[in-house]
Amino acid sequence: MYERGGPREVVYVLLTVQAAAGLLASVGELLFMGSPLYAVLPVLKAVGLFVLAARIVRGRRWAMIAVIVVEWLGLLGFWLGVLLALFPGFAASITLMALLTEVALPVTVIILCTRLLRAPDARYAGVSRSPARPDARYAGVSRFPAR
């Protein structure tokens, strides 16, 4: 199936932490802004991250690609907010938590998902190419790992 404690489970935990931090931030927005409309997008994003994290553990390639896109969009949004803060009337609140959840976590998840996408398919683990008779039924495929 998959390796326990491998990169898929690390991505699962990181996405869960990111979704939980987003939900916590939306609760703060609800308390200070007073309107439940401020919680709609963070809740939808958190639900989406939970679903994608569960699919990544199962090895779905489309989920890894979707997570990479979502994380890049999040990084783009963060840096656009920083650029907007250069104009008068706008302010960026860059905190340690924001840097962790909006920059460090997405970059780590992007790197891990990219490595998972580049990794050879786990179904063929332990099967390597070997010089065999070219006319054999399974020519070039060996059950013994390459050295």
pLDDT at 71: 95
Provide the domain limits for residue 73. 7-117
Exposed (0-12), middle (13-18) or buried (19+): which is 90, by Cβ within 10 Å? exposed
Find the farthest-apart pair of alpha carbons in the chain and give their distance in angstroms, rounded.
74
**Residue 101 in this model has a pLDDT that exceeds 50:** yes
Q: What is the pTM of this model?
A: 0.74
Give a yes or no: residue 145 inside a domain: no
Question: pLDDT confidence of 95, banded at 50, 70, 90?
Answer: confident
pLDDT at 29: 85
Tally the domains of the chain. Answer: 1
Q: Which of 6-20, 86-100, 127-141 has the lowest mean pLDDT?
A: 127-141
Give a yes or no: residue 98 inside a domain: yes
Q: Are 20 and 125 in contact (CB under 8 A)?
A: no
Give a yes or no: residue 20 inside a domain: yes
Give a yes or no: residue 133 inside a domain: no
pLDDT at 14: 95
Give a yes or no: residue 132 inside a domain: no
Question: pLDDT confidence of 7, banded at 50, 70, 90?
Answer: confident
